[in-house]
């Protein structure tokens, strides 16, 4: 119990720290200085642990800061951006994952047609969920894309005691992509 409490508490602390850091980035005009990246066709690469952006799902009142990486440490603090996948809003499949018992505990209530918003340092993208499926944990479910695409993943069933056997995959297409300036 002590270990579980420690993990949840440290995750909450790191989550707050990530929110504070992201707010500081926006407040200090880092967004404006990074707008030059909009013109660059290069794929944005993030260092492990680096803040990628913000994820908002209004229908379930989800508002989380995304960090780079899907390891245990990164996922303790918040949703993680899968390294090697596209940055949200850029061409390609952007994959964001999180634990079902923490930041994505309400993802099961998100369905096709719901709106998702992502904010990175350069782009603000409004997405619409176009696909929802349950797959086995080892089933191939991530595929590249030439167009901007967003994939949200978490374990399934949401309320499962033990290592969940399946994965919930939500895919979204962009409605609007706006540069942040």
Given the complex with other proteins, which of 27 and 146 has the nearer CB atom? Answer: 146
Given the complex with other proteins, which of 4 and 27 has the nearer CB atom? Answer: 4
Are the C-beta atoms of 53 and 68 separated by less than 8 Å?
A: no
Cβ neighbours of 125 (radius 10 Å): 23
To other proteins, the closest distance from the beta carbon of 67 in angstroms equals 13
Q: SS3 of 174, please?
A: strand
To other proteins, the closest distance from the beta carbon of 24 in angstroms equals 28
CA–CA dist 156, 96 (Å, integer): 15
Positions touching other proteins (CB under 8 A) are 1, 3-4, 7-8, 69-71, 75, 80, 82-85, 93, 95, 97-102, 104, 135-144, 153-155, 160-164, 167, 169
To other proteins, the closest distance from the beta carbon of 153 in angstroms equals 4
Given the complex with other proteins, which of 14 and 26 has the nearer CB atom? Answer: 14
The reply to whether 155 belongs to the active site is yes
CA–CA dist 122, 173 (Å, integer): 18
The reply to whether 105 belongs to the active site is no
Given the complex with other proteins, which of 124 and 167 has the nearer CB atom? Answer: 167
CA–CA dist 112, 128 (Å, integer): 8
To other proteins, the closest distance from the beta carbon of 180 in angstroms equals 24
Say whether the peptide bond before residue 30 is cis (omega within 30 degrees of 0).
no
Tokens 């994939």 sit on residue: 151
Catalytic residues: 99, 155
């Amino acid at each position: 119990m002590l270990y579980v409490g420690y993990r949840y508490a440290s995750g909450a602390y790191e989550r707050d720290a990530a929110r504070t850091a992201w707010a500081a980035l926006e407040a200090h005009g880092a967004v404006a200085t990074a707008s030059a990246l909009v013109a660059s066709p290069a794929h944005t690469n993030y260092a492990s642990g680096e803040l990628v952006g913000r994820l908002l799902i209004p229908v379930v009142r989800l508002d989380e800061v995304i960090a780079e990486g899907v390891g245990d440490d990164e996922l303790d603090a918040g949703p993680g951006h899968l390294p090697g996948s596209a940055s949200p809003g850029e061409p390609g499949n952007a994959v964001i994952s999180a634990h079902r018992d923490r930041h994505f505990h309400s993802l099961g209530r998100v369905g096709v047609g719901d709106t998702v918003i992502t904010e990175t340092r350069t782009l603000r993208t409004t997405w619409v969920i176009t696909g929802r499926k349950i797959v086995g944990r080892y089933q191939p479910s991530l595929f590249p894309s030439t167009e901007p695409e967003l994939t949200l993943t978490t374990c399934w069933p949401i309320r499962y005691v033990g290592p969940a056997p399946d994965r919930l995959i939500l895919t979204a297409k962009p409605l609007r992509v706006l540069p942040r300036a």
